[in-house]
Amino acid sequence: MWFYNPNGGYSFRRFHSHAMSDGFAPANAQRACHIRVNGWGGANTIPAQSDLLNVKVRGRVIGQNLPWGPACRFKMDANRAACPLTHLMDVPGNNYLSCGATRAIGTGGANLVHARPVNRYLNGVSAAANRYQFRFMAEDTTYKTSATGQYWVNTAGLDPCQPYEVEVRASFDNGVTWCDTYAPAQPNPYAPRWGRMCILNTACAVGGGNQNMTADGSTGQGSTGSPGHLVLYPNPNNGEQLFLSIDFVKEGVSKMSVDIYDGFGKRVNASTIAVNEGFVNTTLDLNGSLAAGMYIVNITVGEDTYTERLVIQP
């Protein structure tokens, strides 16, 4: 790992293998991906209030160094660390990915919008933020505040068929104050009061007139209990990605199967998807594998089944 000031001055490289713990366990190859900043000490210690640095990382395999990866920005900032910024969940592949995602309007599990949870470190002790506030901006601005201990809100009250600019901020005192100031002792009028903005799209209501964004719903045909509500969107679809959500899955169900059939009854796509916390909110990568036409999507979740038509229009 290489920390350096692109304008000159500070530059430090450190090799970190899986044999070095730096407080992480177990001693496997993945441990080498973690490093404790300033764990090296001495003259190369990064100051508590540093300049904006670049950081590059490269791997080492059987004694041979790989090429350096792209530079990321890094800054030691004790003031900001005491009240960190956050934004919508943007980690690719995360079950709660919200930045750039689409959500149907509602209050169920599949309608939730998640922030990236943040911690702060004071005197060597880590504390998690216990409340988050979301600002949804379109023609009107809507504020939603999470319940204590949660980093998500639902989409009830938002308008359908609407791209929203969303910003988030965190609180460590149940919303009495928010991380929207830099530091009372060293105020910075130019410091951002909200985290990085992300776009969240709300799905259109059925029959809303915008076919490229329509969220067709289907009620499951289950043998017992009350089934959830299925949403597939966009539908018609361009054949690249299909968003799928079910707002209620019965207790004890951990996975579901998704089968897509063409007009001749031939199965052309099959997937198995994990169920998390009683709901499903995921993306199927079709990757242009389906020709234009009408398809039937059949979903089995435990004892419940869902059937929905899907139109592919590349």
Q: Which residue ranges make up each domain of the chain? A: 2-76, 81-202, 211-312
pLDDT of 12 reads 92
DSSP character for 92?
T
What CATH number does domain 211-312 carry, 3.40.50.11540, 3.40.50.1370, 2.60.40.1930, 2.60.120.620? 2.60.40.1930
Does pLDDT of 10 surpass 60?
Answer: yes
**Distance, CA of 12 to chain centre:** 32
Tens digit of each residue's pLDDT (9 = 90 or more) over 67-101: 999 999 888 887 788 889 999 998 877 888 899 88
Tens digit of each residue's pLDDT (9 = 90 or more) over 267-306: 899 999 888 777 888 888 898 889 888 888 888 888 888 8
- Mean pLDDT over residues 13-35, rounded? 81
For the record, the structure tokens of 155 come out as: 């989409």
Q: Dmax of the chain from CA atoms?
A: 71
pLDDT tier for residue 184 given thresholds of 50, 70 and 90: low
* Residue of 220, 158, 169, 164 lying closest to 195 (CA atoms): 169
* Residue of 96, 119, 113 lying closest to 282 (CA atoms): 96
Does 81-202 match 211-312 in CATH topology?
yes
158/160 Cα distance (integer angstroms): 7
What phi-psi label fits residue 45: left (phi over 0), alpha (psi between -120 and 50 degrees) or beta?
beta
The alpha-carbon radius of gyration of the chain (Å, integer) is 23
pLDDT tier for residue 186 given thresholds of 50, 70 and 90: low
Report the alpha-carbon angle 39-83-80, nearest 5.
Answer: 60
Tens digit of each residue's pLDDT (9 = 90 or more) over 19-28: 887 777 787 8
pLDDT of 151 reads 94
**Distance, CA of 113 to chain centre:** 9
Q: Is residue 220 within 8 Å of 228, Cβ to Cβ?
A: yes
pLDDT of 80 reads 80
Query: Under CATH, what is the fold of the domain 81-202?
Result: Immunoglobulin-like (2.60.40)
104/161 Cα distance (integer angstroms): 9
Name beta bridge partners: 314. none
Q: Is residue 75 within 8 Å of 256, Cβ to Cβ?
A: no
**What are the distances in angstroms from CA 165 to CA 88, 98, 113, 142, 193?**
10, 12, 13, 11, 15
Average pLDDT, the chain: 83
For residue 132, the one-letter residue type is Y
pLDDT tier for residue 248 given thresholds of 50, 70 and 90: confident
Does pLDDT of 183 surpass 80?
Answer: no
150/296 Cα distance (integer angstroms): 37
What phi-psi label fits residue 229: left (phi over 0), alpha (psi between -120 and 50 degrees) or beta?
beta
Name beta bridge partners: 271. 258
Q: Is residue 90 within 8 Å of 198, Cβ to Cβ?
A: yes
